[in-house]
């Protein structure tokens, strides 16, 4: 490709509205252009990267035995009514009507559509297992679109759906996808972690996320410093603490005028935050109030709380006025002694002895409180977020936090969708069998940004050869002045093209500084500079984007190809 014929619009200035480096660089390098909130056009140079990521994803999906199809982005509401998600999905799903008043959505995901098709076409166990995938545009009306294509509203996803006759088949299909994902992430040249995840509103049991490690990542990951344990904090299990130590103090009232928060009370009474037990009152989706006890230094994990059978998805914090009426005091002073609600305590809160808590009386707290003696032994559960320094739940090492960008997510869905939508196939005995399903997503467009978050320097992007928009650029110096440079550049250009290299030549007639700055900003991995001085010695100057210095190589196509392959 000749740069004189390829529209490239680079900029020196960092755009004001771009918060993270990948968004800044993608704008500056002319990879993407914003059309509206969370809506981006991929410009020609950026599209090349997107297509390369897609190609790697397709190659590995095909290698793993998945087969490609393409489903519409607009989906009829009936399918979502069958699965029950038409009402569950909330504002993220963009809904619309056609001219006949029929309801549709712009697909945020495709479980319903694929189950519909498999229901039509797959009749017998002999047609299973099968794994369909597509690379398709999704729309999710995100609450906070940001970071460019990282959290967009319209984005490109690879989604795959496996169907098996039994659970063992699903587990095997999941394993094959996991292996394919490992190959994909390795080929993309990124540092990533596979972590245990929460399945969210997709549902199902086992699920893992592939996270690109980056300080700008929106997800917090809990990773053991010396063992294999790694989980999204949303899903990270807290190791149960050791047995509670014996009570040593007696229960006393203490005046704490105006001290409402745990921090205030701990400072006021000169006790550690971990010696305070706080009470949160929640309203379950069924409308019942529950009291949850947590240690003062711990935070409620809403995902775990939503999984607790007595709390459930859709719970909210109870209205403070209503709580005040029930407890007879304002919410800053709640505690488990004489509590009008049964208490579910986090394991760590249940393990503290001689603790401080609200007295259920304004401006008073209790000290030296002990479960079982001063208030009933609570039901216990894992309700809190892990914190750094917690022991890893598998007993190996301590938890450290990392930030990650979710690049992929794999789920064992089980029979949730197949059952809800009435998909059955005939088994060997001619009996109806409900297939087991898995689903596997990769954020193709998000990954382009995630790779940049990890691979860049102050001058621009640093692509691995596998996804670079062009692997190599020829920068001829003084093209319009030197016949020798022109001849050498053209013959290298046609020689590399003949060898199948997707080479770019900067024939715009810029000065070296301008050519180099653009090549570095857009992240071309290899650069061959051709100038009169080196040519006089029959040499080119060769530089890798990630190396500090350039080197001299013989001025031949073969010498360049050797570098390319090496």
- Footprint on this chain of ligand ATP (rule: CB under 6 A): 109, 140, 142, 151-152, 155, 157, 200, 406-409, 441, 443, 445-446
- Least distance (Å) from ligand ATP to the CB of residue 142? 5
Minimum Å gap between C-beta 56 and ligand ATP is 15
Number of H helices, E strands in the chain: 16, 31
The distance of closest approach from Cβ of residue 421 to ligand ATP in the complex, given in angstroms and rounded to an integer, is: 19
Contact criterion met (CB below 8 Å) for 56 and 188 = yes
Question: Minimum CB separation from ligand ATP for residue 121, in Å?
Answer: 25
Instruction: Reduce the secondary structure of 491-550 to three states and give it as a string.
Output: HHHHHHHHCCCCCEECCCCCCHHHHHHHHHHHCCCEEEEECHHHHHCCEEEEEECCCCCC
| 79: phi then psi, degrees, rounded to nearest 5 | -65, -40
> What is the sign of the dihedral through the CA atoms of 6, 11, 17 and 22?
positive
Nearer residue to ligand ATP within complex by CB, 408 or 476: 408
Burial class (CB in 10 A: 0-12, 13-18, 19+), 12: exposed
Angle at 43 between CA 37 and CA 46, to 5 degrees: 100
Is the Cβ of residue 378 or residue 407 nearer to ligand ATP in the bound state?
407
Q: How far is the CB of 53 from ligand ATP (least distance, A)?
A: 11
- To ligand ATP, the closest distance from the beta carbon of 194 in angstroms equals 12
Q: Which is nearer to ligand ATP, 166 or 218 (CB)?
A: 218
Of 209 and 390, which has the nearer Cβ to ligand ATP?
Answer: 209
Distances from the Cα of 556 to the Cα of 194, 444, 537, 563, angstroms: 44, 37, 12, 11
> Minimum Å distance from CB 189 to ligand ATP?
17
Structure tokens at 201: 């509103």
Question: How does strand 432-433 pair with strand 425-426?
Answer: antiparallel
- Tell me the CA distances in angstroms from 45 to 10, 74, 108, 470, one per residue in order: 11, 28, 27, 9
- From edge to edge, which strands make up the β-sheet containing 74-76? 74-76, 103-106, 94-97
Distance of CA 402 to the CA centre of its chain: 13
Residue with Cβ nearer ligand ATP (200 or 422): 200
Residue nearest to ligand ATP (CB): 443
Tell the smallest beta-carbon distance from residue 33 to ligand ATP (Å). Answer: 17
Nearer to ligand ATP, 103 or 142 (CB): 142
Q: How far is the CB of 187 from ligand ATP (least distance, A)?
A: 16
Comparing CA positions, the residue from 363, 351, 141 lying closest to residue 253 is 363
| Residue whose C-alpha is closest to residue 515's, from 528, 503, 502 | 528
Other C-beta atoms within 10 Å of 352: how many? 23
């Amino acid at each position: 490709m000749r740069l004189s014929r390829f529209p490239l619009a680079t900029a020196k200035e960092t755009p004001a509205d771009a918060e993270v480096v990948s968004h800044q660089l993608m704008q500056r390098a002319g990879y993407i252009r914003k059309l509206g909130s969370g809506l981006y056009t991929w410009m020609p140079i950026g599209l090349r990267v997107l297509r390369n990521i897609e190609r790697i994803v397709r190659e590995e999906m095909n290698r793993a035995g998945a087969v490609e199809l393409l489903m519409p982005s607009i989906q009829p509401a009936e399918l979502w009514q069958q699965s029950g998600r038409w009402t569950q999905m909330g504002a993220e799903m963009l809904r619309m009507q056609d001219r006949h008043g029929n309801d549709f959505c712009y697909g945020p995901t495709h479980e319903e559509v694929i189950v519909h098709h498999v229901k039509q076409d797959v009749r017998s166990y002999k047609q299973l297992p099968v794994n369909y995938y597509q690379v398709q545009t999704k729309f999710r009306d995100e609450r906070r679109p940001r970071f460019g294509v990282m959290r967009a509203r319209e984005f490109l996803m690879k989604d795959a759906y496996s169907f098996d006759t039994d659970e063992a088949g699903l587990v095997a299909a999941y394993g094959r996808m996991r292996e394919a994902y490992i190959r994909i992430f390795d080929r993309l040249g990124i540092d990533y972690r596979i972590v245990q995840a929460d399945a969210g509103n997709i549902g199902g049991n086992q699920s893992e996320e592939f996270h690109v490690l980056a300080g700008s990542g929106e997800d917090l990951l809990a990773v053991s410093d010396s063992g294999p344990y790694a989980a999204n904090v949303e899903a990270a299990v807290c190791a149960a603490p050791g047995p509670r130590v014996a009570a040593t103090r007696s229960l006393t009232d203490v005046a704490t005028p105006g001290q409402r928060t745990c921090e205030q009370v701990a400072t006021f009474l000169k006790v550690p935050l971990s010696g305070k037990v706080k009470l949160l009152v929640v309203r379950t989706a069924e409308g019942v109030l529950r009291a949850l006890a947590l240690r003062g230094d711990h935070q409620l994990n809403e995902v775990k709380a939503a999984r607790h059978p007595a709390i459930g998805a859709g719970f909210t914090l109870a209205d403070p006025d209503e709580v005040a009426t029930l407890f007879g005091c304002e919410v800053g002073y709640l505690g488990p002694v004489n509590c009008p609600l049964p208490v579910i305590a986090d394991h760590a809160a249940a393990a503290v002895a001689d603790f401080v808590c609200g007295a259920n009386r304004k401006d008073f707290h209790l000290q030296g409180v002990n479960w079982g003696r001063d208030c009933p032994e609570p039901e216990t559960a894992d309700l809190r977020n892990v914190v750094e320094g917690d022991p890893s739940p598998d007993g190996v090492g301590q938890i450290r936090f990392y930030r990650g960008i979710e690049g992929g997510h794999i789920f064992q869905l089980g029979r949730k969708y197949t059952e809800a939508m009435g998909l059955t196939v005939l088994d060997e005995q001619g009996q109806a069998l409900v297939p087991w399903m898995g689903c596997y997503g990769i954020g193709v467009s998000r990954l382009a940004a995630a790779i940049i978050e990890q691979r860049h320097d102050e001058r621009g992007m640093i692509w691995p050869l596998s996804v670079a928009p062009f692997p190599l650029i020829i920068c001829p110096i003084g093209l319009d002045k030197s016949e020798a440079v022109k001849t050498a550049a053209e013959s290298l250009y046609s020689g590399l093209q003949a060898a199948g290299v997707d080479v770019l030549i900067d024939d715009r007639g810029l000065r070296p500084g301008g050519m180099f700055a653009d090549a570095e900003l857009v992240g071309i991995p290899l650069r061959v500079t051709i100038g009169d001085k080196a040519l006089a010695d029959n040499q080119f100057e060769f530089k890798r984007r990630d190396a500090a210095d350039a080197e001299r190589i013989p001025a031949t196509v073969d010498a360049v190809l050797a570098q390319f392959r090496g």
